[in-house]
Chain A
Amino acid sequence: MGGFENFFAHYNYVATIVLMVAGLYIVIARGNMIKKLIGLMLFQTSVYLLYIAPGKIIGGTPPILDANFTIYSNPLPHVLILTAIVVGVATIALGLAIVSRIHEAYGTIEEDEIIARDDQE
Chain B
Amino acid sequence: MIVTIAIVRMRNLFGVIALSGVYSFLMASVLMVYDAVDVAMTEAAVGAGVSTVLLLAALHLTKSLEYPMPRPAAVPLIVAVGVGLALIWATYDLPAFGIADAPIHKHVAPHYLQNAIKETQVANVVSAVLADYRSFDTFGEVIVVFTAGIGVMLLLKGRRTRRDGSQGETP
Contacts and interface: CB of A to CB of B under 8 A. Distances in A.
Given A56-B35, A82-B126, A30 B66 contact: yes
Given A62-B37, A109-B63, A97 B156 contact: yes
B126 A25 contact: no
Interface string B10-40: 0001001100100110010011001111110
A19 B84 CA distance: 9
B39 to A, nearest CB: 5
Given A72-B125, A86-B141, A103-B61, A97 B152 contact: yes
Interface residues of B, number: 94
Given A38-B7, A93-B168, A76 B109 contact: yes
Nearest to B171: A86
A13 B91 contact: yes
B124 A31 contact: no
B126 A10 contact: no
Interface of A: 6, 9-15, 17-22, 24-26, 28-32, 34-35, 37-38, 41-42, 45, 48-49, 52-58, 60-66, 71-79, 81-83, 85-87, 89-94, 96-101, 103-104, 108-110, 112
Interface of B: 1, 4-5, 7-8, 13, 16-17, 20, 23-24, 27, 30-31, 34-39, 42-43, 46-47, 50-51, 54-55, 57-59, 61-63, 66-67, 69-71, 73, 75-77, 79-81, 83-84, 87-88, 91-92, 94-100, 102, 104-105, 108-109, 112-113, 116-117, 123-126, 128-130, 134, 137-138, 141, 144-145, 147-149, 151-152, 155-156, 159, 164, 166-168, 170
Nearest 10 CB-CB pairs, A to B? A9-B96, A90-B148, A58-B98, A21-B84, A29-B76, A73-B35, A28-B76, A13-B91, A96-B58, A25-B80
Given A37-B55, A45-B43, A92-B51, 4 more contacts: A28-B75, A29-B76, A78-B38, A96-B58
